[in-house]
Amino acid sequence: MNDSYGRTIDYMRISITDRCNLRCRYCMPYGISSVTPEDILTLEEIQAVAIAGASLGIRHIKVTGGEPLARKGCCQLIGMLKSVPGIENVTITTNGIFLSRFLDPLLEAGIDGINISLDTTDRKRYQEITGTDGLFQVLAGLEKAVFRKIPVKINAVSALWEADYGQRDWMAIARLAAKYPVDVRFIEMMPIGYGRHFKPLDHHEILAGLKKEYPGIREDETVHGFGPALYYQVPSFQGSIGFISAIHGKFCASCNRVRLTAQGFLKTCLCYEDGADLRSVLRGGQQERSGNCLENGHWNWNYKDCPEDKKLQEGLITAISQAIQLKPKNHCFERPEQMTERHNMIDIGG
Ligand code: SAM
Ligand code: SF4
């Protein structure tokens, strides 16, 4: 559907957990607590939201978290989302630690693409950023995924790090697109949660470095997905280099997304608390729903045959469409004092 500014909203990022096996310093440092499992949407509830979203024009879903592969049933959920009529594309973003282990079930579930978050190719820095000596596990998962020919993107958050931390190896990360047929994207640090403590890096600096080292680099105008990245191609590279610059290259005018938190709140913009509490809609009607509406313990998405589910779907559709109508025009990251979102990225779902 279109929002009140005429933007087509066809992309939903769904966080399925607020837990993670890593402790990235800008996202979930040590000491952050998670909510209880009962507060998190069940797989069936998530599917019900996807069904309602699909009927409003959502076509692409990204499963995220926390670390989605740390939630039991993640691969099962991918299959459930793939089965929703209207959903064309289901992808996942993961820190990659468990990727080798879960690659086969992900592929069997029909995953359409895998984003791996990797901020450095240096083992020591990886440990400094994430709190875990896990670089080689991530690289093994990456190689395995590439070998299976599933589309892979690497996401690296860019920021001006504190002096004691050292500047990161931007070129080494970019060169992963030379070694593998993967797109490498630099994502500007946003002032959300602990991200506030880091200064965003203007991507022109990385681009200037790339141009110096690879004078043949050119803008790449081919379509790479459904997001706001601007891509460049180095002739000798197998993949492209992308830049997602929320602050220095604001792309709100073409924003196509909403986000579902693990607790079932539909957020319409990262910057503000605006949105809809879909968990209340889902659970408010639960007592009324009869067992007939479940097929083999799973949601019967053919809700037209089931009055209670039809009512529930109508409630979700109303809540989602009202929230989309009120989607803010712009973020205000450049004026953090105007932000109303106080949650950490791990609670929102990145
Ligand atoms: N654990 C998974 C992962 O790391 O890909 C999924 C969740 S994580 C929150 C999703 C993405 O958000 C990661 O690429 C992470 O680097 C990014 N991220 C976290 N905090 C951020 C911030 N303040 N600004 C920009 N990106 C951020
Ligand atoms: Fe975990 Fe991803 Fe946040 Fe790192 S960025 S702490 S891997 S959720």
Summarised one tens digit per residue, pLDDT across range 4-45 is: 999 999 999 999 999 999 999 999 887 777 888 999 999 999
List all residues 6 or more positions away from 234 whose beta carbon is below 8 Å from its beta carbon. 177, 178, 210, 214, 216, 217, 241
Q: What is the pLDDT of residue 157?
A: 92
Ligand 1 atom closest to residue 22's alpha carbon, by position in its atom list: 1
Ligand nearest to the CA of 32: 2
User: Ligand 2 centroid to 22 CA: how many Å?
Assistant: 6
What percent of the chain lies above the pLDDT cut of 70?
A: 92
Q: What is the pLDDT of residue 295?
A: 57
- Spatial distance between the Cα atoms of 69 and 73, rounded to a whole number of angstroms: 9
Would the pLDDT of 342 be above 80? Answer: no
Q: Which of 164-178, 181-195, 314-328 has the lowest mean pLDDT?
A: 164-178
Q: What is the pLDDT of residue 242?
A: 95
Helices assigned H by DSSP within the chain: 43-55, 74-82, 99-109, 123-130, 135-147, 170-174, 176-179, 203-213, 278-284, 307-325, 345-348
Q: What is the mean pLDDT of the chain?
A: 89
Average pLDDT over residues 269-278: 91
Q: What is the pLDDT of residue 89?
A: 97
Q: Is 256 in the pocket of ligand 2 (CB under 6 A)?
A: no
User: Ligand 2 centroid to 153 CA: how many Å?
Assistant: 16
User: Ligand 1 centroid to 292 CA: how many Å?
Assistant: 40
Q: Which of 180-184, 262-266, 269-273, 281-285 has the lowest mean pLDDT?
A: 281-285
Would the pLDDT of 158 be above 80? Answer: yes
